[in-house]
Amino acid sequence: MSHTLLLTILGCCTLLALTFQWKGLKGTTLIAPWCWSVIAIGSIIAIEWLPFILTERMWAGGSTSLRYCAAITTLCPIVSLLGAKRPQHRAWQWIVLSLWVILAMPAARTLFFSHATFHTGILWSWFLLILVGMTVVNYLPTCYWPVGLLVGAAQCCLLANELPGVRSLSAWLTSHLSEKPIRGYPGGAITASVLLFAAAILAQWIARERNRLKPTCLNPIDRLWRDFCSHYGFFWSLRVADRFNGIAKSQNYAIRIRWNGFAPFANEPNGQSGETPPTIEEPMEQTFVRLLTRFVSTGWINKRKGERAGKARC
């Protein structure tokens, strides 16, 4: 009972921290990943209360499968983020749900067929590991990299026995030290809840610190780009940069997007680029803003351009 209460308190605190981030996501397509995050935390809490609802026999037979179903829900936010581009961002959520159903099939087989044993194949395990890795890699180049690491570590705790390396170690220990299968460790859900709570608090703190940045001489459009990179991470930032640079090349714009902002581009083979601050003409800025409106609203863009313009005075 104490284990369940502690996990519930941690989960509720994480949900509370997520609610404070809702305001900063208004006008973006990140609302869907946020909702999946809330569903994931709620699922982890709900599963731990099932022993008090189900009979002891029912819970003993399905506890591993049910906890697995809750654990894979934490993978849904990153998958939802991969489709966070208008206008398909709403329909993409059905794909996220379908992926969750597919990932839950090993658990469903155990729950609905009494003689079946819970087991995920090696390819299944590597796919789970790839999804965990995507969560970390997407935010690794951004200021939210500690958050990505914490979330990835929490997912590893929840899916410990289903990931390739840990499952091999479990099989070795079972064959040499015990006759009973080893299914994770009791504190896995608690550890994951602590890590998720720390990630939510850290994300809120980083967002506040970014809003308190001292005035700099950065161009407002550069700051807008950095805000987008921080929110959407590596995958979508790389796609938007590639799209803009392709348009800039076709229109002979002497500017390109780099990770840290806009940089001049030399058209001449022997020319030098990046030595002087780039001049962003209005057509180029409109092209960039038009690309961002596939992800965020014009109000979100104008608000940040206005705030950053005030901070950019030197």
Mean pLDDT of the chain: 79
- Tell me, yes or no, whether 199 and 224 share the same domain: no
If we measure between CA atoms, which residue out of 125, 37, 112 comes closest to residue 73? 37
Q: What is the mean pLDDT of residues 58-67?
A: 68
- Tell me, yes or no, whether 150 and 241 share the same domain: no
Q: Which of the pair, 3 or 213, is modelled with greater confidence?
A: 3
- Tell me, yes or no, whether 88 and 175 share the same domain: yes
What is the Cα Rg of the chain in Å?
23
In this structure, the dihedral spanned by the alpha carbons of residues 50, 51, 54 and 58, taken in order and rounded to 10 degrees, is 110
- Tell me, yes or no, whether 242 and 164 share the same domain: no
Per DSSP, the residues of 215-243 read: P----HHHHHHHHHHHHHHHHHHHHHHHH
- Tell me, yes or no, whether 191 and 241 share the same domain: no
Domain boundary among 186, 211, 236: 211
Give the pLDDT confidence score for residue 23 in this predicted structure: 80
Look at 5-14, 102-111, 226-235, 292-301 and tell me which has the smallest mean pLDDT. 102-111
- Tell me, yes or no, whether 243 and 206 share the same domain: no
Q: pLDDT class for 217, splitting at 50, 70, 90?
A: low
- Tell me, yes or no, whether 32 and 122 share the same domain: yes
Question: Number of structural domains, the chain?
Answer: 2
Look at 115-119, 230-234, 259-263, 276-280 and tell me which has the smallest mean pLDDT. 276-280
Q: What is the pLDDT of residues 78-107, one digit of tens each?
A: 999 999 998 898 999 999 999 999 998 888
**Residues 100 and 76 sit within 8 Å (Cβ to Cβ):** yes
Burial of 165 (0-12, 13-18, 19+ CB in 10 A): exposed
- Tell me, yes or no, whether 75 and 173 share the same domain: yes
**Amino acid letter, 56:** E
**Residues 305 and 222 sit within 8 Å (Cβ to Cβ):** no
Q: What is the mean pLDDT of residues 164-175?
A: 56
Percent of the chain at pLDDT exceeding 70 = 76
Give the pLDDT confidence score for residue 38 in this predicted structure: 94
Q: Which of the pair, 26 or 168, is modelled with greater confidence?
A: 26
Look at 11-15, 76-80, 243-247, 301-305 and tell me which has the smallest mean pLDDT. 301-305
Residue 309 reports pLDDT greater than 90: no
Domain boundary among 191, 211, 231: 211
Q: pLDDT class for 109, splitting at 50, 70, 90?
A: confident
CA distance to 68, 122, 135, 252, per residue, from 139 (Å) = 25, 27, 7, 32
**Amino acid letter, 20:** F
Q: What is the mean pLDDT of residues 245-249?
A: 88
Residue 171 CA to residue 177 CA, distance in Å, equals 10
What is residue 291's DSSP assignment?
A: H
- Tell me, yes or no, whether 207 and 267 share the same domain: no
- Tell me, yes or no, whether 56 and 204 share the same domain: yes
Identify the domain containing residue 111 by its residue range.
2-211
- Tell me, yes or no, whether 228 and 207 share the same domain: no
Domain boundary among 211, 228, 255: 211
- Tell me, yes or no, whether 79 and 96 share the same domain: yes
Residue 25 CA to residue 294 CA, distance in Å, equals 15
Q: Which residue, chain included where needed, has tokens 């840990």?
A: 166
Percent of the chain at pLDDT exceeding 90 = 30
CATH of the domain at 130: 1.20.1070
**Amino acid letter, 249:** K
Q: Which of the pair, 137 or 207, is modelled with greater confidence?
A: 137
